[in-house]
Copies of this chain bind each other. A is one copy, B any other.
């Protein structure tokens, strides 16, 4: 089943997810294609949130914004239903997680705006292509993610701190890892911290706030990238009335190749 799933195209995967047949994490699916984080808000909050992403492009690189009320996209996917094509969604009210569901069609409203935000899955394939091991892939677990004390620029209703993802990199490959990811600003770009977790308020690199811990071997340094889970942290801090997000790891698989993002 998994092997068969791995051979499906983005649109075939979206069909399977839309029917509710596949509800698991999307890591490794449709290799080479961009996956995306989701934030859905009422139009009344959309200006503040769009401005928040403009002011904080590293953790919140916007790939595409839907038209008001629309469940379609113009650029990143044809044949898409934003209310059904993520395997799992989260519903937040006043900053509190209310429930996780596999479809948000019953909750859809004409005033909702969807924000697709870049995901580090896109640069992981580039790191591998450059000969850099990605530990969370090797170990078959979710990438470790951490709350930090890095303040973000506020915008109207929205404020909060950055969430980062961590990957251990051999010392002699750190420069290469910076170069590879710096080339991809639309999916978070270069690291924000190299080798010193205390500097950004992380007490224990083996106790992530989201995702799973990974091994750090002798001669490796922990490298931290801005993370697309940041908006969920910002939503918890800012407590807007109603927001839908994806469930971390359960992303939208788009029709756009990762490499295309580099030259856009």
A contact residues vs B (CB 8 Å cutoff): 43, 46-47, 50-51, 54-55, 62, 65, 74, 153, 185
Contact = CB atoms under 8 A, between A and B. Distances in A.
Contacts of A47: 43, 46-47, 50
A46 B62 CA distance: 17
A47 B111 CA distance: 14
Contacts of A46: 47
Contacts of A50: 47, 50-51, 54
Contacts of A65: 51, 54-55
Contacts of A62: 54
A54 B54 CA distance: 8
14 contacts: A43-B47, A46-B47, A47-B47, A47-B50, A50-B50, A50-B51, A50-B54, A51-B65, A54-B54, A54-B62, A54-B65, A55-B65, A74-B153, A185-B185
A255 to B, nearest CB: 17
A46 B50 CA distance: 10
Contacts of A153: 74
A77 to B, nearest CB: 15
A47 B55 CA distance: 14
A175 B62 CA distance: 29
Closest 3 CB pairs of A and B: A47-B47, A50-B50, A51-B65
Contacts of A55: 65
A223 to B, nearest CB: 18
A65 B51 CA distance: 8
A185 B74 CA distance: 22
A185 B153 CA distance: 21
Of the candidates A47, A51, A54, A65, the one having the most CB atoms from chain B within 10 angstroms of its own CB is: A47
Contacts of A54: 50, 54, 62, 65
